[in-house]
Amino acid sequence: MVRWPYLVVLLVGATLPPIVPAQIVSPQRERNALNKGVAVPKRAWGPEQAIGEPDTPLAGDIQTAWASLTEDGQKEWLELIYEKAVIPVCVEIHETYRPGAVFKIAVFDREGVESIVWEGQDPTAAGQTRGVSKIKLRTDIVTDRIRIYLDSPKVPGWNEIDAVGLIGQDADRQWAVGVKASSTYAREIPPQVDQPQMDPFDGVFVGDSELMAKREQQLAALVKQLRQRDEQLRAAQERVDELERENETLKQKLKDR
C-alpha cells in the first residue's frame, strides 16, 4: 500500500494558502502604477503575465505566462486591452506551453458589444512545445479589446499564453496593457506591506513588497508542484487498488480449484 505518502502530501497541501481564481488587472491600475514609478507585482501564472512583450524565452510550464486554474477543467478565455483602438488585421498569440487550444477570437467595439471575428483550428498544432499563432482577421470593427477562447479540455495540460500582439491596419504591433481571464492558477495579490512585519516563512523581518511578491511566486510554484504530485499519487494509488483487486480475484480462483 502507498497511502502514507499520499496522506503526507495532503497534509502539507492543507497547510498552504488556498488558490483562488481572482484575475482582473485593469489598465488604469497598471497606468497609475507606472505614473507613480512603481512596478506592479505580477503573480506567477497570473493573467497579468500576458501584459506587455513576450518574456518567456523557453517552452515549458513557466510562471511568466498565464495559466488557467485547472489543466483541462473547462473552456477558458483571455481578454486583453490595448492602448490604442485599431481596426485589427492580425493577432499574434505567443503560446509557450501545451499550445494548440485557441479556437475563437472576439473583438469588442466602443459600446462593449462582442463580435466573433475568427473561428477555426489553432495554427500552432497541439503536441508542439511552443509556437506563435498568427491569426489574420477580417473585420471593420474599431477595437482596443479582444478575447481569445481556448478549448482547454481538448489539449491536455495547462495551455499557457505568454503575450498577445495586436496588429492594426497601420501595421504597428501593440502589446496588451490590461488583461483578465476566465480563471487563473495565480493567487490573489497580497496586501501591500507598509510596515515591516515578521516573515512567517523564516522568521526575518521584511518590509519589501518585491520580496513578498517573490515569496508568493515561490509558494505558487510549490503548490503547483504539490498538486501535480498529488495527481501522480492518486493515479498510482488507483493502480495499486486495481492490482490488489486482481490479486484477490486470482486468490479466489486458486481456492476454487
Task: Tell me the number of residues near Ca ion by CB under 5 A.
Answer: 9
Q: Which of 42-50, 127-135, 174-182, 210-218 is the region at the interface with Ca ion (rule: CB under 5 A)?
A: 42-50
Cα–Cα distance measured from residue 56 to residue 113, given in angstroms and rounded to the nearest whole number = 32
Q: Where are the alpha helices (DSSP H) in the chain?
A: 3-14, 27-35, 209-256
Identity of residue 214:
K
Nearer to Ca ion, 51 or 117 (CB): 51
Q: Is 72 in the site for Ca ion (CB under 5 A)?
A: yes
Smallest separation, CB 172 to Ca ion (Å)? 20
Nearer to Ca ion, 30 or 162 (CB): 162
Give the neighbor-by-neighbor strand order of the sheet with 160-168: 131-136, 88-97, 160-168, 173-175
Cα–Cα distance measured from residue 104 to residue 122, given in angstroms and rounded to the nearest whole number = 9
DSSP letter, residue 53: S
Q: Which residue has the cell 479556437?
A: 103
Give the neighbor-by-neighbor strand order of the sheet with 76-86: 114-119, 102-108, 143-150, 76-86, 178-181
| 178-237 positions binding Ca ion, by CB under 5 A | none
Q: Is 55 in the site for Ca ion (CB under 5 A)?
A: yes
| 133-162 positions binding Ca ion, by CB under 5 A | 152, 155, 159, 162
Rg, Å, the chain Cα set: 22
Nearer to Ca ion, 165 or 168 (CB): 165
Smallest separation, CB 228 to Ca ion (Å)? 14
Nearer to Ca ion, 137 or 163 (CB): 163
Q: Which of 24-32, 66-74, 105-113, 171-179 is the region at the interface with Ca ion (rule: CB under 5 A)?
A: 66-74
Cα–Cα distance measured from residue 106 to residue 179, given in angstroms and rounded to the nearest whole number = 14
Smallest separation, CB 68 to Ca ion (Å)? 7
Which residues here bind Ca ion, judged by CB under 5 A? 49, 55, 64, 72, 152, 155, 159, 162-163
